Amino acid sequence: MFRSMLVRSSSSAKQWLLGRSFSSGSVPERKVAILGAAGGIGQPLALLMKLNPLVSTLSLYDIANTPGVAADVGHINTRAEVVGYTGDDNLYKALEGADLVIIPAGVPRMPGMTRDDLFNINAAIVKTLSSAIAKYCPHALVNMISNPVNSTVPIAAEIFKKACMYDEKKLFGVTTLDVVRAKTFFAANANLPVADVNVPVIGGHAGVTILPLFSQATPQANLSGDVLTALTKRTQDGGTEVVEAKAGRGSATLSMAYAGALFADACLKGLNGVPDVVECSYVQSTITELPFFASKVRLGKNGVEEVLDLGPLSDFEKEGLEALKPELKSSIEKGVKFVKQ
């Protein structure tokens, strides 16, 4: 019984990962680097990327413990060749030739902290890693997971501008976990099969800047205003819910690894020319007055192909959108100032 469940779920996982356009014989070579690969997110993310047949080289980098993670993941009999690096002197080897760099390097929250409380430590880490990306793999797509995402993405953008290689189509703040949570909470309340549910989440990735658009959820469900308000709040506080449950042992790692793997898979499909790959992400944007904003994005061979319009919002969502702008604006400015000062 357990064995047959395992077989079924592994074949559907393969379908999820394989994409639509390739037979296993014609999949292009793609190098994916994970920076922070030995951490709470990095390890399960390395596992999930090792299972992704779109990856030909999986390059794992961390300041500590990478050899063990690389040896362990490397024994899995899937396509990707695994290489592990540690130490400043080897960062270039981890990055050279990368098509996609995923960054979960940095410290996580403890109970009572906001994501912005991580700024001082993580901004410096992201600055160092972004400078190395600019030098060693300037054409790679970058998936930023390190918090505070609302500021770390503008930091990376400023570093890339300084290095004269900034391409706004290639820099992404990973907000997929907000979408994953919104889908889970909505499906449970609406009594819908979660696999059928989609919910766009816009804005940013911290507290009120996370704005799920339940008015655009598919399939639609007839939930009351009070329920939608509660679902919005739960999605906004999802990270804090995990931080409190972990009680001093960090923040979301497993659900984040899943979300990070989903988003990386979408980026790889886009790079490989699979049509109509659309995910929410925090990117450089002109759809509001803010220079960075999370919304639905169409992914293509060069990264962002199109930032999609927000679509019609309910009055509640319109209020949420106006309410999030001051915080998001100041987080963006804080990131920009960190590099420019």
Ligand X SMILES: O=C(O)C[C@H](O)C(=O)O
Ligand Y SMILES: NC(=O)c1ccc[n+]([C@@H]2O[C@H](COP(=O)([O-])OP(=O)(O)OC[C@H]3O[C@@H](n4cnc5c(N)ncnc54)[C@H](O)[C@@H]3O)[C@@H](O)[C@H]2O)c1
Binding flags for ligand X, 137-156, as an x/- string (CB under 6 A): ----------x---------
Ligand-binding annotation for 110, yes or no, is: no
Does 118 engage in binding with ligand Y (CB under 6 A)? yes
The nearest distance, CB 177 to ligand X, in angstroms, is: 5
Q: Of the residues 205, 269, 296, 329, which is catalytic?
A: 205
Residue 280's SS3 state is: strand
Does 253 engage in binding with ligand Y (CB under 6 A)? yes
Q: List b or e across 303-329, with b for residues whose CB sees 16 or more CB atoms inside 10 angstroms.
A: bbbebeebeebeeebeebbeebbebbb
H or E element in which residue 319 lies = helix 315-340
Q: Give the binding range for ligand X (CB under 6 A) out of 9-17, 96-104, 158-166, 234-242.
A: 234-242
Ligand-binding annotation for 272, yes or no, is: no
Max alpha carbon distance in the chain (Å)? 61
Q: Give the binding range for ligand X (CB under 6 A) out of 82-90, 130-138, 235-243, 313-321.
A: 235-243
- Residue 242 contact among ligand Y, ligand X, none, beta carbon within 5 to 8 Å by kind: ligand X
* Closer Cβ to ligand X, 86 or 251, answer by number: 251
Q: Give the binding range for ligand X (CB under 6 A) out of 19-27, 55-63, 188-196, 237-245.
A: 237-245
* Closer Cβ to ligand Y, 47 or 107, answer by number: 107
Residue 18 burial by Cβ neighbours in a 10 Å radius (0-12, 13-18, 19+): middle
Q: Are 285 and 204 in contact (CB under 8 A)?
A: no
Residue 295's SS3 state is: strand
Ligand-binding annotation for 256, yes or no, is: yes
The nearest distance, CB 66 to ligand Y, in angstroms, is: 9
The nearest distance, CB 109 to ligand X, in angstroms, is: 4
CB neighbourhood size of 184 (10 A): 17
The nearest distance, CB 24 to ligand Y, in angstroms, is: 31
* Closer Cβ to ligand Y, 60 or 307, answer by number: 60
139 is catalytic: no
Does 177 engage in binding with ligand X (CB under 6 A)? yes
Strands annotated E in the chain:
31-35, 57-62, 81-86, 100-103, 141-144, 171-173, 201-203, 210-212, 277-284, 292-300, 303-307
Does 115 engage in binding with ligand X (CB under 6 A)? yes
Name the DSSP class of 121. H
Beta strand pairing status for 57-62 and 81-86? Answer: parallel
User: At a CB cut-off of 8 Å and minimum separation 6, what does 221 contact?
Assistant: 186, 189, 190, 191, 192
Does 245 engage in binding with ligand Y (CB under 6 A)? no
**What are the C-alpha distances in Å from 113 to residues 119, 196, 329?**
11, 34, 20
- Residue 190 contact among ligand Y, ligand X, none, beta carbon within 5 to 8 Å by kind: none
Residue from 44, 239, 300, 303 that binds ligand X (CB under 6 A)?
239
Does 109 engage in binding with ligand X (CB under 6 A)? yes
DSSP per residue, 29-85 = P-EEEEETTTSTTHHHHHHHHHT-TT-SEEEEEESSSHHHHHHHHHTS-SSPEEEEE
Ligand-binding annotation for 36, yes or no, is: yes
Does 82 engage in binding with ligand X (CB under 6 A)? no
- Residue type (1 letter), 73: V
Annotated binding site: which residue ranges?
Answer: 36-42, 62, 109, 115, 122, 145-147, 181, 256
Annotated binding site for NAD(+): which residue ranges?
Answer: 36-42, 62, 122, 145-147, 256
Binding site for ligand Y (CB under 6 A): 35-36, 38-42, 61-64, 104-109, 118, 122, 125, 128-129, 145-147, 149, 174, 177, 205, 250-253, 256
